[in-house]
Amino acid sequence: QPSEADWDDLWEQFDERRYLNAKKWRVGDDPYKLYAFNQRESERISSNRAVPDTRHLRCNLLVYCTDLPPTSIIITFHNEARSTLLRTIRSVLNRTPMHLIQEIILVDDFSSDPDDCKLLIKLPKVKCVRNNERQGLVRSRIQGAGIAQGTTLTFLDSHCEVNRDWLQPLLHRVKEDYTRVVCPVIDIINLDTFNYIESASELRGGFDWSLHFQWEQLSPEQKARRLDPTEPIRTPIIAGGLFVIDKAWFDYLGKYDSEMDIWGGENFEMSFRVWMCGGSLEIIPCSRVGHVFRKKHPYIFPDGNTNTYIKNTKRTAEVWMDEYKQYYYAARPFALERPFGNIENRLSLRKNLQCESFQWYLKNVYPELSIPKDSLIQKGNIRQRQKCLETQKRKNQEIPNLKLSPCIKIKGEEAKSQV
Ligand code: UDP
Ligand code: MN
């Protein structure tokens, strides 16, 4: 760790005041306008502030491998506030043993001002790459991973503050078993006050059939089985922004679906893929990282917020959910007619990796997800006397015509519904 005097030198060279002052909130402006959090409050708080240690007391008793390999920390951002971006990096430099940081890779996803990123390379370990076109967080993370030199990748959002000893327990779990993909407990940085608030540790990631992420309490049985509060929690899905993964494992598993745009859905794709193709997902209670949770996205979605979320989740459903995708479509009928690009590559990835079925995932990883009884989508024929409603494929059209014609009897299938 650099000495106190070295730190002072480093900060002087970087000139924090100049970096922050150039783009400060001005009296009269709406402090929420640019970033959807309170910019004024964020700027009042030191980039160097301490945060409360929110870990369970027992975490102090744990010992971690001493020879953990250094990790590449990857932070992608698009028009992040300078104050939060700097605080993210400084919290990492303050609360991570230096020998565990291979590098901090900032991927500037075509922010309006290239200096937001460039000026930060004066800080120790920090590298900056900039997209010359907006790519969205998935392609930006792939880009960061591509230049990473560490044996593990650690992804963070651009408005985080890491807590005491956050990294060691994560790297330790991955070192023991490289197929584990591990997350910290995500504490809450309040978007109005920037207070750092402890969040419940006995939560895991869950979702519904519309592929909407939600935190879930552990069931009473799961809680009863947890004798040790420091024990990792297996989770069906990760929130997506903050996790550690072995780099070779990340590459082997197919990185990310690079056709996903801007934001959203990639955590489903990655979570299904990790579980179904031989890995596991864990939340590590003794690792804590604060994150500013917002109510809306401050940035533009060029194809619209909903369209983008649907494209990304539809790709996930089509590649990974097998026949269960019908429940996704039942929950999001709008998705049926939306374009979602080509998925050949991802289907062959799944085939080559010989991954388990979605049914396997539901049975073994997420049995709590109940299967709807009355889905909007039902199988069967619609019949009028001798005739059935049949589809007729139209040239160059995804949606076929319907017409009444003699019933085509499919072996073993009886007409269920009659008109
Ligand atoms: N991000 C990005 N490119 C984009 C959209 C988002 O690099 O086109 C970054 C963003 O700056 C943040 C991370 O991806 O660091 C996650 O986005 P955000 O914080 O808006 O998502 P949330 O945490 O609200 O789910
Ligand atoms: Mn975020």
Exposed / middle / buried, residue 117 (Cβ in 10 Å: 0-12, 13-18, 19+): buried
- Write the DSSP assignment of 24-88 as a string of letters: ---TTS-TTTTTSS-HHHHHHS-TT------S-GGGGG----S-PPPEEEEEEESS--HHHHHHH
For residue 33, report the distance from its CA to the centre of ligand 1, in Å. Answer: 16
* Placement of tokens 């990655």 in the chain: 270
Nearest-atom number in ligand 1 for the CA of 79 is 11
If one residue of 34, 107, 155, 158 were mutated to test the ligand 1 pocket, choosing by the most ligand atoms within 8 A of its CB, it would be 158
Exposed / middle / buried, residue 131 (Cβ in 10 Å: 0-12, 13-18, 19+): middle
* CA 233 distance to own-chain centroid: 17
Q: Which residues pair with 104 in a beta bridge?
A: 73, 126
Give the pLDDT of residue 414: 44
Which ligand lies nearest the alpha carbon of 309? 1
Nearest-atom number in ligand 1 for the CA of 299 is 5
For residue 184, report the distance from its CA to the centre of ligand 2, in Å. Answer: 14
Please give the backbone phi and psi of residue 402, each rounded to the nearest 5 degrees, phi first.
Answer: -115, 140
Nearest-atom number in ligand 1 for the CA of 134 is 8
For residue 79, report the distance from its CA to the centre of ligand 1, in Å. Answer: 9
Give the pLDDT of residue 12: 82
Which ligand lies nearest the alpha carbon of 35? 1
- Write the DSSP assignment of 361-388 as a string of letters: HHHHT-TTSPPPSS-S---S-EEETTEE
Give the pLDDT of residue 56: 97
For residue 17, report the distance from its CA to the centre of ligand 2, in Å. Answer: 25
Give the pLDDT of residue 346: 98
Give the pLDDT of residue 131: 98
Show the ligand 1 pocket: residues with CB < 6 angstroms.
76-78, 80, 109, 134, 136-137, 140, 157-158, 241, 262-263, 294, 297, 299
Q: Give the chain's domains with CATH numbers.
A: 4-292 (3.90.550.10), 378-419 (no CATH)
Give the pLDDT of residue 376: 54
Nearest-atom number in ligand 1 for the CA of 158 is 15
Task: Tell the residue nearest (CA) to atom 16 of ligand 1.
Answer: 157
For residue 387, report the distance from its CA to the centre of ligand 2, in Å. Answer: 55
Please give the backbone phi and psi of residue 375, each rounded to the nearest 5 degrees, phi first.
Answer: -80, 150
Which ligand lies nearest the alpha carbon of 77? 1
State the number of CA atoms in the 13 A half-sphere of 302 facing the CB: 7
Nearest-atom number in ligand 1 for the CA of 107 is 7
Residue ranges of the chain whose pLDDT lies below 70? 374-379, 396, 398, 409-419
Which ligand lies nearest the alpha carbon of 130? 1
